[in-house]
Amino acid sequence: MDNVSKVIRGGYCVGCGVCPFVDSSLSVRMDGDGRYQAVELSGDHAPVASRVCPFANGRLNEDVLGRELYGGVEGVRHDDAVGWYLDTYAGYAVAGDWRERGSSGGLVNWTAAKLLETGRVDAVIHARACDEPGVMYSYQVSHTVDELASGAKSKYYPVELSRVLEYVRAHDERYAVVGIPCFIKAMRLLEREDPVVAGRVRYHLGLVCGHLKSSFFALAEAWESGIDPDRVDSVDFRYKIPGRASSDYGIRATGTDAEGRPVEVVRPTRELSVTNWGYGYFKYNACEYCDDVLAETADMTCGDAWLPDYVRDGKGTNVVVVRSPEIRDLFDEYAGEVHLEPVPVEVVARSQRSGLRHRREGLAYRLWLKDRAGQWRPVKRVQPSNALPRHRRRVYEGRIRLMDESFKAFREARRNGGGMPFFVEYMTPIVRAYKRADNPLWRRIGRKAKHIINTIMREK
Ligand SMILES: Cc1cc2nc3c(=O)[nH]c(=O)nc-3n(C[C@H](O)[C@H](O)[C@H](O)COP(=O)(O)OP(=O)(O)OC[C@H]3O[C@@H](n4cnc5c(N)ncnc54)[C@H](O)[C@@H]3O)c2cc1C
Ligand code: SF4
Ligand code: SF4
């Protein structure tokens, strides 16, 4: 069996939509759990399909691709967490309202807009709101700054590339593509195979990625906020609440009530049960087998500066990794339009500490579990290992369970009419077991003892 079939049948597909673009024996469709997944229309696939798939091609990993792309750039360095890098910053866009509109500091869309305005590209391929019934967001091609601006903010929502790739094939234009790490890697693999796409896609702007959500996430957020999943129109996943820390953001959901009247709800995510990223509700299974947090094959990567020095500023701050000299030149040329504070690479890595731990230590354990079960799994840069404390193993097992059960609970909540109260009740014992693993008895006793000793010492 070829590797792309193993990816699909093993549940490792992230639905990027690149394999159907190179092989008509494959297609990509939304499955019953709200995830794009590749579908095999026949059993035989062209070898190129396995070469472009980010999970099937174990040889061309992010280290190899990154070295090919940036290894020869003067002044470039490599870091195990961040990949190749020229410069690392914390910052935000100063010009225009990119920061206000953006999820964090607005630097992704500011950069994309600058590439458009300066004529370096004709269009930007990114995710924005979609007219198709039942689909909130999709990959689209923006030719103007206004179109681009309408697509600001993170879409924690399934998207796929096959349709925009058809557009690229048919239109001789120069493009920048925005994407999460595995999508950028898929683009790089495709560009090695397809000189037309390679010649047209000039810039790759990466987003840091914790994991991708099925469409159930958007529906559940809206449902918990009072809008029935059958009547939701849109969810803004990153609504900035004035006066609050950047990490204390909300969602804004729109739809209609039972009488068909328009409704709009803003809710802080801390009031919702489905938004704890550590629980990984509605996560793609593929994300459990991913080791690229910082889009290591992108010309520039932006994420959230999840660090105490920056989260206080509710307007949002990016961490930025620059790999391409052309992006560095752009930042230099328009220095007055951005605020960029050079920070050590460790600071960028620290801002993504939890995601990196889950995709290094956690991934090693998940690979070990797959090997022990004798099941095929993608070849990763991380080696399989079970050499981690027992409670950490329970944590990673708990997260797999939370992910799997969240889909079952949501489907059942819709089927039986129990709504989000049913979902919460279903998930509660699973969350409790996970929390016990994450905070075992010996640690709780240790903390308590430390607290008592400190109190006694202070009183003395
Ligand atoms: C699924 C997902 C998971 C993420 N996980 C993390 C994380 O764990 N840690 C972290 O620090 N940051 C994470 N990010 C990135 C973060 O949420 C911001 O997107 C990033 O900091 C850029 O902010 P900005 O204000 O510069 O972007 P903006 O200026 O708002 O621009 C965002 C651009 O990205 C495009 N875009 C948004 N979502 C998608 C998508 N799904 N696919 C393709 N293009 C898209 C938009 O169309 C827009 O062009 C994640 C993003 C996504 C989409
Ligand atoms: S991850 Fe992308 S390339 Fe791989 S099987 Fe899925 S859709 Fe195809
Ligand atoms: S966690 Fe990895 S596999 Fe999942 S969406 Fe993000 S980059 Fe892709």
Confidence of residue 439 (pLDDT cuts 50, 70, 90): confident
CA of 381 to the centre of ligand 3 (A): 15
Predicted confidence at residue 452, as pLDDT, reads 81
Closest ligand 1 atom to 277 CA: 8
Confidence of residue 455 (pLDDT cuts 50, 70, 90): confident
Domain count, the chain: 2
Domain end residue (candidates: 334, 357, 380)? 357
Residues of the chain above pLDDT 70, percent: 100
Predicted confidence at residue 288, as pLDDT, reads 98
Looking at the domain assignment, is residue 30 inside a domain? Answer: yes
Predicted confidence at residue 449, as pLDDT, reads 77
Looking at the domain assignment, is residue 380 inside a domain? Answer: yes
Same domain, 17 and 111: yes
Task: Give the domain range for residue 196.
Answer: 3-213+283-357
Looking at the domain assignment, is residue 309 inside a domain? Answer: yes
Same domain, 294 and 406: no
Q: Which helix (H) or strand (E) holds 372?
A: helix 361-372
Predicted confidence at residue 122, as pLDDT, reads 98
CA of 247 to the centre of ligand 3 (A): 21
Q: Is 306 in the pocket of ligand 2 (CB under 6 A)?
A: no
Same domain, 80 and 98: yes
Same domain, 130 and 201: yes
Average pLDDT estimate for 162-191: 98
Same domain, 298 and 425: no
Same domain, 315 and 380: no
Predicted confidence at residue 276, as pLDDT, reads 96
Looking at the domain assignment, is residue 246 inside a domain? Answer: no
Residues of the chain above pLDDT 90, percent: 94
Same domain, 343 and 366: no
Predicted confidence at residue 58, as pLDDT, reads 87
Looking at the predicted structure, is the pLDDT value of residue 441 above 80? Answer: no
Predicted confidence at residue 460, as pLDDT, reads 74
Confidence of residue 445 (pLDDT cuts 50, 70, 90): confident
Same domain, 82 and 200: yes
3-class secondary-structure state, position 78: strand
Residue nearest to atom 6 of ligand 2 (CA): 13
Predicted confidence at residue 209, as pLDDT, reads 98
Report pLDDT digits (tens) over 331-379. Answer: 999 999 999 999 999 999 999 999 999 999 999 999 999 999 999 999 9
Closest ligand 3 atom to 290 CA: 2
Looking at the predicted structure, is the pLDDT value of residue 265 above 90? Answer: yes
Average pLDDT estimate for 437-454: 77
CA of 265 to the centre of ligand 1 (A): 22
Average pLDDT estimate for 43-71: 95
Closest ligand 1 atom to 207 CA: 15
Predicted confidence at residue 86, as pLDDT, reads 98
Average pLDDT estimate for 144-152: 97
Closest ligand 2 atom to 49 CA: 3
Rg of the chain taking only CA atoms, in angstroms: 22
CA distance 392 to 355: 15
CA distance 77 to 455: 48
Same domain, 150 and 173: yes
Looking at the domain assignment, is residue 233 inside a domain? Answer: no
The alpha carbon torsion through 34, 36, 40, 44 (nearest 10 deg) reads: -160
Mean of pLDDT over the chain = 96
Q: How far is CA 418 from CA 223, 273, 409, in A?
A: 11, 16, 10
The alpha carbon torsion through 331, 333, 339, 344 (nearest 10 deg) reads: 40
Pocket perturbation via mutation, ligand 2, pick of 29, 53, 188 by most ligand atoms within 8 A of CB = 53
Q: How far is CA 75 from CA 66, 87, 322, 340, 344, in A?
A: 14, 9, 12, 19, 15
Average pLDDT estimate for 40-44: 92
Looking at the predicted structure, is the pLDDT value of residue 324 above 80? Answer: yes
CA of 52 to the centre of ligand 2 (A): 8
Looking at the predicted structure, is the pLDDT value of residue 389 above 90? Answer: yes
Residue nearest to atom 8 of ligand 2 (CA): 19
CA of 163 to the centre of ligand 1 (A): 20
Q: How far is CA 304 from CA 104, 218, 266, 362, 411, in A?
A: 6, 20, 21, 22, 31
Q: Which helix (H) or strand (E) holds 138?
A: strand 137-142
Confidence of residue 456 (pLDDT cuts 50, 70, 90): confident
Average pLDDT estimate for 37-61: 95
Nearest Cα to Cα of residue 225 among 258, 272, 274: 272
Report pLDDT digits (tens) over 409-429. Answer: 999 999 999 999 999 999 999
Average pLDDT estimate for 164-187: 98
Looking at the domain assignment, is residue 14 inside a domain? Answer: yes
Same domain, 122 and 40: yes
Q: Is 284 in the pocket of ligand 3 (CB under 6 A)?
A: yes
Residue nearest to atom 3 of ligand 3 (CA): 287
Same domain, 382 and 396: yes
* Angle at the Cα of 85 from the Cα atoms of 83 and 88, rounded to 5 degrees: 115
Identify the DSSP state of 382.
S
Predicted confidence at residue 372, as pLDDT, reads 98
Confidence of residue 451 (pLDDT cuts 50, 70, 90): confident
Domain end residue (candidates: 357, 383, 409)? 357
Looking at the predicted structure, is the pLDDT value of residue 444 above 80? Answer: no
3-class secondary-structure state, position 57: coil
Beta strand 232-239 pairing with 250-256? antiparallel
CA of 20 to the centre of ligand 2 (A): 8
Closest ligand 3 atom to 287 CA: 4
* Complete DSSP assignment for 247-296: TS-EEEEEEE-TTS-EEEEEEEGGG-STT-TTTTTTB-GGGGG---SS-T
Confidence of residue 448 (pLDDT cuts 50, 70, 90): confident
Looking at the domain assignment, is residue 226 inside a domain? Answer: no
Rounded to 5 degrees, what are φ and ψ at 22?
A: -100, -10
Looking at the domain assignment, is residue 249 inside a domain? Answer: no
CA distance 347 to 319: 9
Average pLDDT estimate for 147-152: 97
CA of 452 to the centre of ligand 3 (A): 43
Same domain, 336 and 364: no
Domain end residue (candidates: 357, 392, 414)? 357
Confidence of residue 178 (pLDDT cuts 50, 70, 90): very high
